[in-house]
Amino acid sequence: MKDRRYLVVLMDARGRSLRRVALRRRSIVGALGILSISCCVAVGLLTHGIVRQQTAVEARALAVENAELSRLNTLIDSRITASRQMATRAELTFAQLWSKSGLGPEPTALGVGPTERGDDEAPGTPYSSHIRSLELLEVPLELDRLSIDGPHLQSSLDELLEYFHDAERLLSNTPSTKPAGSPWQTSSFGRRRDPMTGQWLMHKGIDLGGRTGDPIYAPADGVVIFVGRRGGYGLTIVVDHGFGIQTHYAHLSRYRVHLGERVERGRLIADMGTTGKSTGPHLHYEVRRMGQPLDPEAFIMD
């Protein structure tokens, strides 16, 4: 095929020819091909640049998210030890409360944790599933809530445990057993005629008859605060049980404890006698609260 030529004439506004250029058909086709390829390359480079820019934006977003994840992971790790310690302490406290409550054997599987749950959650759903269902940014808020609610719950458990401890101590320190095994009560609490003078006087305790040397036992836990002779009471022991309660043991023949000694319920503390103002072997037993005499029979439960 013959290579045609084309004449390109450049003219000015007056129509005068300025320049003439002869172009071959093959050259024009080649130039158009090169132009087409250049356009394709340019479009390809532009598209690649746009894709790269989008990738860079996504990479930056992922980097920010990874940094946030790293921060949250560090935050969770820093709190997990304290949370475990708090949970362990709460479990131990609850175990003590349960054992002191008298409600029966300690349960082996108890759901511990916040009771809030969604309407679609079945009872007994583990709280860990609640944590997993949270959005990432909600986890620190949930940890903050637990860090606030946890100590409050532990404080309530501690107060309840302290109450049980006080109640247990009060029971162990309350003189609820008879201090002597004698079945004979020779005199009761209240006004009576004095066996020595015949006058009506206030009898501040009860008298338990027996034989000299019969054992006298502590009716409750306490501390011996007096050992010695006291006027008409003869040889006397006074035990302080706390909570303002004291017990007095008079007309003894022998001491079995020392001043300042701590005694427990059922401990042998003295022998019965007839020292002081007494008509025969017996134990004069008093219970006082804040110094005021009370009827010992109101305390004896055995």
Name the pLDDT band for 29 (thresholds 50, 70, 90). Answer: confident
pLDDT for residue 216: 96
How does strand 200-203 pair with strand 268-272? unpaired
- Is pLDDT above 80 for 167? no
The answer on pLDDT for 78 being more than 80 is: no
Token output for 245: 């309660």
pLDDT (average), residues 154-180: 74
Read off the pLDDT band of 228 (50, 70, 90).
very high
Contacts of 87 (CB under 8 A, 6+ apart): 112
Query: Predicted confidence band at 27 (pLDDT cuts at 50, 70, 90)?
Result: confident
**What's the pLDDT score for residue 181?**
84
pLDDT grade, residue 183 (50/70/90)? confident
* Choice among 110-114, 141-145, 181-185 with the minimum mean pLDDT: 110-114
Mean pLDDT for the stretch of residues 98-106:
52
pLDDT at 241 over 50: yes
pLDDT, average across residues 176-201? 82
pTM beyond 0.75, yes or no: no
Alpha-carbon span 187 to 204, nearest angstrom = 10
Query: Rounded mean pLDDT of 115-125?
Result: 45
Tokens of 7: 């004449």
> Where does the pLDDT of residue 271 fall: very low under 50, low under 70, confident under 90, or very high at 90 and above?
very high
Mean predicted confidence (pLDDT) in 21-31? 71
Q: Which of 126-130, 139-143, 236-240 bottoms out in mean pLDDT, i.e. has the lowest?
A: 126-130
Average confidence (pLDDT) over 163-178: 76
Task: In whole angstroms, give the CA distance from residue 253 to residue 273.
Answer: 4
pLDDT at 116: 44
Is the pLDDT at 118 greater than 50? The verdict is: no
**Mean per-residue pLDDT, 270-296:** 93
Give how far the C-alpha of residue 213 lies from the chain's centroid of Cα atoms, to the nearest Å.
Answer: 52
pLDDT higher than 50, residue 184 = yes
273 close to 212: Cβ distance less than 8 angstroms: yes
Instruction: Calculate the CA 91 to chain-centre distance.
Output: 8
Of the two residues 214 and 81, the one the predictor is more confident about is 214
Buried b (16+ CB within 10 A) or exposed e, 221-241: bbbbeebeeeeebbbbbbbbb
Taking residues 220-241, what's their average pLDDT? Answer: 95
Average pLDDT over residues 233-245: 94
Mean pLDDT score across all residues of the chain: 76
CATH class of residue range 185-298: mainly beta
pLDDT of residue 235: 97
